[in-house]
Amino acid sequence: MASDSSFDVVSKLDRQEVDNAVNQTAKEIAQRYDFRGVGASVTLAGDVITMEANSAERVLAILDVLQSKLFRRGVSLKALDLGDREPKPSGKIYRLACPLKEGISQEIAKRITKAIRDEGPKGVKATIQGDEVRVSSKSRDDLQAVIALLKGLDVDAALQFVNYR
């Protein structure tokens, strides 16, 4: 019974759900009265969601619709990199590009491992492996406590816990 239990902390997106949310947003802004004749659009190209309209307020309204669709589909809003959240004018069109964030950066991984070391149960080891963090311990109860700790931790990434064994 000396074997370690472990799990991985990752930050991954369900691309199909993101695509579905963008399509639902495009359909809703095509049907809504307040978006008629303003050139409003939302597109997903690679890892960037681009919203366009003829005023900054309408672009932010499109962003609000997109966020509600993502939330309903179970995609964390932390996956959107909003930056300064100000639409940029390009001629008569205002544009807001939101890159999608996937993977845990080194800075966030270091914060996670430090939080586990400082506040987590004793005997829990956390190691950074690329863009994920592996947490291991002899006690599964300790791993459950670490998951609860990480859910309460405020990091700028959507965290998921996978490969629990």
**Model pLDDT for residues 127-139, shown as the tens digit of each residue:** 888 888 888 888 8
Question: Residue range 53-58: average pLDDT?
Answer: 86
Rounded CA-CA distance 62/34 in Å is 11
pLDDT score at 1: 42
Percent of the chain at pLDDT > 70 equals 97
Residue 152's SS3 state is helix
Rounded CA-CA distance 99/82 in Å is 7
Count other C-beta atoms under 10 Å from residue 71's C-beta: 12
- pLDDT at 70 exceeding the cut of 50: yes
Question: Residue range 67-89: average pLDDT?
Answer: 83
- pLDDT at 13 exceeding the cut of 70: yes
Domains of the chain: 5-12+103-162 (3.30.70.860), 15-99 (3.30.70.990)
Question: Residue range 68-91: average pLDDT?
Answer: 82
- Sheet containing 132-137: order of strands: 125-129, 132-137, 5-10, 160-162
pLDDT score at 102: 84
- pLDDT at 2 exceeding the cut of 60: no
Question: Residue range 44-70: average pLDDT?
Answer: 90
**Model pLDDT for residues 85-115, shown as the tens digit of each residue:** 677 777 788 888 888 888 888 888 888 888 8
**Model pLDDT for residues 141-154, shown as the tens digit of each residue:** 888 888 888 888 77
By the 8 A CB rule, do 159 and 146 touch? Answer: no
Question: Residue range 47-55: average pLDDT?
Answer: 88
Q: Return the sign of the alpha-carbon dihedral for residues 105, 109, 110, 111.
A: positive
Q: Per-residue confidence at 84, pLDDT binned at 50, 70, 90?
A: low
